[in-house]
Amino acid sequence: MLAIAWIAAVSGSAAQAAERPIKIVALGDSLMAGFQLPESAAVPAQLEQALRAKGFAVEIVNAGVSGDTASGGLSRLDWSVPDGTDAVILELGANDMLRVVPPEVTRKALDEIIRQLKARNIAVMLCGMMAAPNLGPDFVRAFNPIYPELASNHGLVFYPFFLDGIAADPKLNQRDGLHPTAEGVAVIVKRMLPKTEELIALVQTKRGS
């Protein structure tokens, strides 16, 4: 009887874990926060809606802070990513690039964020950024490899360029030419959806193991 009760309890706990919504924190800067957009139009909200429409039980928390750098994200990591988080979508580095922060500083901060999240058994999806060509070839050569190399070194789900499909398109960006409109966000979400599903699959695998 005790053995049967134990098996039932374990099975019940596994079922509850499978049913619990996957909690994702979207850790980023103004591109993630939804600069000048209503909360419902920002990437986390649109992405959650798209995933739920496909039948995924997810909750995505918007932890984007306008103006934040990779180092800033590291400094607030503990309170931005609370206990109980299953996965993080990491989007930082655009402000580092715009401010011409030494690429090695950006790389070190991102690497430490990833290491700390992995130590907490939190799955990570890294969103890449690319340097503007006008910053010069030396900076571009040092900055652009940061993301694919970190993704490869840590075995992460990797979305190569967060602004893929909207960069430099005036129809999909606000007047500043840097931040997407709600329509631009919709393009981002559509393109990154398959990689986000890959991230969710990792979480589901961990829960089932």
pLDDT string in tens for the chain (209-residue length): 544 444 444 444 444 445 789 999 999 999 999 999 999 999 999 999 999 999 999 999 999 999 999 999 999 999 999 999 999 999 999 999 999 999 999 999 999 999 999 999 999 999 999 999 999 999 999 999 999 999 999 999 999 999 999 999 999 999 999 999 999 999 999 999 999 999 999 999 988 85
Catalytic residues: 30, 176, 179
Whole-model pTM: value is 0.90
Rounded to whole angstroms, how far apart are CA atoms 27 and 72?
11
Domains and CATH numbers, the chain: 20-208 (3.40.50.1110)
- Where on the phi/psi map is residue 67: left (φ > 0), alpha (ψ -120 to 50), or beta? left
**DSSP-assigned letter for residue 64:** E
**DSSP-assigned letter for residue 127:** E
Rounded to whole angstroms, how far apart are CA atoms 179 and 32?
10
Rounded to whole angstroms, how far apart are CA atoms 91 and 35?
14
Rounded to whole angstroms, how far apart are CA atoms 43 and 193?
11
Q: For 106-163, where are the E strands, in sequence order?
A: 123-127, 157-159
Closest CA to 165 of 147, 180, 143, 144: 180
